[in-house]
A and B are shown apart, each in its own frame.
Chain A
Amino acid sequence: MTEIAETHSAPAPSLTTRLEIVPLVLFTAFAAAPLLAAYSGAEGYVLSLLTRVMIFGIAAMALDLILGYGALVSFGHAAFLGLGGYAVGILASHGFEDALIQVPVALLASAAFAFVTGAISLRTKGVYFIMITLAFGQMLYFLATSLAPYGGDDGMTLASRSLVAGTDWLENDFTFYWVCLLCLFGVYALSRSIAASRFGRVLRGTRENAIRMEAIGFRPFRFQLAAYVISGMMAGLAGCLLANQAEFVSPSFMTWQRSGELIFMVVLGGLGSLHGAIIGAAAFLLLEEFLPEILHTLSFFLSEETRSHLAENWKMVFGPLLILIVLFVRGGIMGLLRRPHHG
C-alpha cells in the first residue's frame, strides 16, 4: 500500500513538466520584453502596451481562480478593477499619494465588497449568479458615475503615479513595468499555490459535485466565499495598477462590457490553468491593438478604399474571430498548446 503512495504521490512528471514550459516561456518573454523594447524604436508604446497586458493578466487570472477552479461565472469582476482604481484616485485627490496606503485600502475595499456581494450572490446558482454579480457590478458603475467630486461620468486624471514610501520610482516606465511583472508573478504563484492546496482541492471538488462535498462534511459556501474574496482582492490590485498605468480613473473601468472582456480573456486562454488567463489577456489586447493593421496588410488585393473601411471596422472581424476560437478550440489557447503533446 505505502509503496503505491510513495511512487504516485509525486505528480506524473512527464505531463506537468511539459506544461510548465508554457509559464516559463511566458514569464521569460515578459522579462525580456523591456530589453527588446529599447531596440524597437517605440519603447514607450511597447512598454505601456505590455504593462496593460500584464495588468489585465492579473485581473483575468483573478477571475480564472473562481471561474476555472470554482465554476463561478462572475459577470461583475470589472467592479474590482474600478474599486482598485478609485481607491488610488480618491486617496490621491485627498493627498494620500503613497501606494503603501493606497494599495492596502484598495485591497480592503475589494475584500469588503467581495465579502458582502459574494455572501449574497453565492446563495444563487448558475444563471442567477451571473445576473446578480452583473447587478452588483452595475451598481458600483452607477455609483462611480454619480461621484461628482471625483469627476462623475468623465472620471479623474491623476496628478502623478503613486509614490512608493515617498519616492516617485513609479514615474519611470521601466520601473513601473517591473513592478507590474512582479505583481503578475506574485499573483500567479499565489494562485497556483491556492489551486493545489487543501483549500483549492475543496474548491475544485465543489465545482465537480457540490452535493458529494456536503456529504463528506464540507460546507462549500464558505470556501466559495473565501475564493471570491481572494479573487476580488487580486482584481482590486490590478485596478490600482491600471489607474497608475493610465494615470486616469473613470467609471469605464467597471462597465459590464469590461467584465465580459475579462470572461472572454479567461475562456480564450483556457479555463483553469491560470497562465492560460494571462495568455488570453495578451491575445485579446494584442489582437485589439493590431487587428486593424493586420487586416489592412492582409487585404492588399483589395482597393485602397475597401482596405481602410475594413481596418476601420476591425471589430466586425474581431468578434467572429473570438467566437470561432472559442467554438473550435476547446480549452482555449492552452488547449491548443496541449493538443500536440497528447496526440
Chain B
Amino acid sequence: MAEALLELRNLRKNYGALVVTDDVSLSVEPGELHAIIGPNGAGKTTLIHQISGMLPSNSGQVLFAGEDITHLAMPRRVERGLARSFQITSILPGFSALENVALAVQARSGSSFRFLGNASQEKDLNGTALECLGEVGLGARAHIPAGLLSYGEKRQLELAIGLATAPKLLLLDEPLAGTGHDESQRVVETLRRLKNRLTIVLIEHDMEAVFSLADRVSVLVYGRVIATDTPERIRANPEVRAAYLGDEEMV
C-alpha cells in the first residue's frame, strides 16, 4: 500500500455536547477518488471544513503528504496543494468567470504584492484560467459575470477555481447538488477525466454518480465512519444498508 496522500487520525469536532464528527480515521491513497457518503446531518460537510482548515478540530490529526497540517490555516493548506469546493456556491459574483479562475491561478504564480501592471491582461494567468474553464466545459462563458451564470454553471465554475489552484488533492463538497440532469452529466464526465490526474475526495448524495466514479467509499453516520471499502462491497455491506440506506432502494 502506497503512503496515503491524506490521512485523518481520530478527528473530532464537537460544539459543547453536540458531537459532529467523532473519531474519524481515514486514509486517501494518491490517485484515488474517495467518496464519502452518509445521510443528512452525518457531518460530511463539517469533515470537509476540518480537512480544508475552515474549522479547527477539537482533537485528532490531519496529515497531508506526510506533513501534520492540523493547525495550519486554510490558505497555507491550499499552498500545499489541498483545494476545496463549497456545497453552497462560493464565487466572486462581480468578477467574470475568467477572473474568478485567474485569481486562483494568480494565487499560485508569483507574488500578488504587485502594484503595477493590469492583472486582467496577464496572458499567463488568463491562459491557464481558460484551460481550467475549458476543462469543466465553461470555456465559452469565460467573460460572463459569475453572478449571472446559471446555478449549474456556478457549480462548474467552483470546480474550475479548485483546479486552478493546481491541487494535489481536491475536496469536493456535493458538486452535483442542485444541478439539472444534463449539467450533472457534464460534471460527472469532468470528474471522470480529472480522476486520472488528481486525488479527489468527493462528498455526494447522488448514489449513481458515487458508485460509478469512486474507487473507494467511506460511509459516515452520526459523525463516525462505519465502513470504508470498494463500491461493490459497500453496496453489499449489511451494516451500511441498515444504518444508512435503511429501507431506501439501493442503486
Spell out A's residues near B (CB within 8 Å). 1-2, 4-5, 8-11, 190, 193-194, 196-202, 204-205, 208-209, 211-219, 223, 226
Minimum CB–CB distance for B121 against chain A, Å: 5
Do B161 and A216 have beta carbons less than 8 Å apart? yes
Residues of A with C-beta under 8 A to B106:
198, 201-202
Residues of A with C-beta under 8 A to B139:
1, 4
Q: Which of B13-21, B87-95, B205-213, B218-226 contacts A (4 or more CB under 8 A)?
A: B87-95
Do B117 and A197 have beta carbons less than 8 Å apart? yes
CB-CB under 8 A for A208 and B93, given A216-B161, A216-B164: yes
Spell out B's residues near A (CB within 8 Å). 52, 54, 73-75, 78-79, 83-84, 86, 90-95, 98-99, 103-104, 106-108, 111-123, 126-127, 130-131, 134, 139, 142-143, 161, 164-165
| Among B75, B120, B130, contact of A214 (Cβ-Cβ < 8 Å) | B75
**How many residue pairs between the two chains, A and B, have CB atoms under 8 Å in the bound complex?**
118
For A6, give the chain B residue with the smallest CB separation.
B123
| Among B86, B112, B134, B161, contact of A198 (Cβ-Cβ < 8 Å) | B112
Rounded to whole angstroms, the CA-CA distance of A223 and B122 in the bound complex is 20
Residues of B with C-beta under 8 A to A5:
123, 126-127, 130
Do B115 and A193 have beta carbons less than 8 Å apart? yes
Residues of A with C-beta under 8 A to B165:
216-217
Task: Write 14 A-B pairs (CB below 8 A) sorted by A numbering.
Answer: A1-B130, A5-B130, A194-B115, A197-B114, A198-B122, A200-B119, A204-B94, A208-B94, A209-B91, A212-B86, A214-B54, A215-B83, A217-B165, A219-B73
- Could you list 10 further interchain pairs (A-B, Cβ under 8 angstroms) beyond the known A215-B78, A218-B107, A218-B112? A9-B121, A10-B121, A197-B119, A198-B113, A202-B112, A205-B95, A205-B103, A215-B83, A216-B164, A217-B78
Q: Is the interface of A mostly helix, strand, loop or mixed?
A: helix
Rounded to whole angstroms, the CA-CA distance of A1 and B73 in the bound complex is 35
Do A226 and B103 have beta carbons less than 8 Å apart? no
Minimum CB–CB distance for B111 against chain A, Å: 8
Residues of B with C-beta under 8 A to A208:
92-95
CB-CB under 8 A for A198 and B114, given A215-B78, A218-B75: yes
Do A215 and B126 have beta carbons less than 8 Å apart? no
Rounded to whole angstroms, the CA-CA distance of A237 and B79 in the bound complex is 37
CB-CB under 8 A for A215 and B130, given A197-B117, A198-B112, A199-B114: no
Do A209 and B92 have beta carbons less than 8 Å apart? yes
Do B120 and A201 have beta carbons less than 8 Å apart? yes
For A2, give the chain B residue with the smallest CB separation.
B127
Residues of B with C-beta under 8 A to A197:
114-119
Complex A-B, nearest 6 residue pairs according to Cβ-Cβ distance, in ascending order:
A217-B78, A217-B107, A216-B104, A208-B92, A198-B119, A198-B114
Residues of B with C-beta under 8 A to A11:
120
Residues of A with C-beta under 8 A to B131:
1
Rounded to whole angstroms, the CA-CA distance of A209 and B134 in the bound complex is 24
Minimum CB–CB distance for A110 against chain B, Å: 17
Minimum CB–CB distance for B162 against chain A, Å: 8
Do B103 and A215 have beta carbons less than 8 Å apart? no
Do A217 and B116 have beta carbons less than 8 Å apart? no
Residues of A with C-beta under 8 A to B143:
8
Minimum CB–CB distance for A300 against chain B, Å: 47
| Among A1, A4, A223, contact of B112 (Cβ-Cβ < 8 Å) | A223
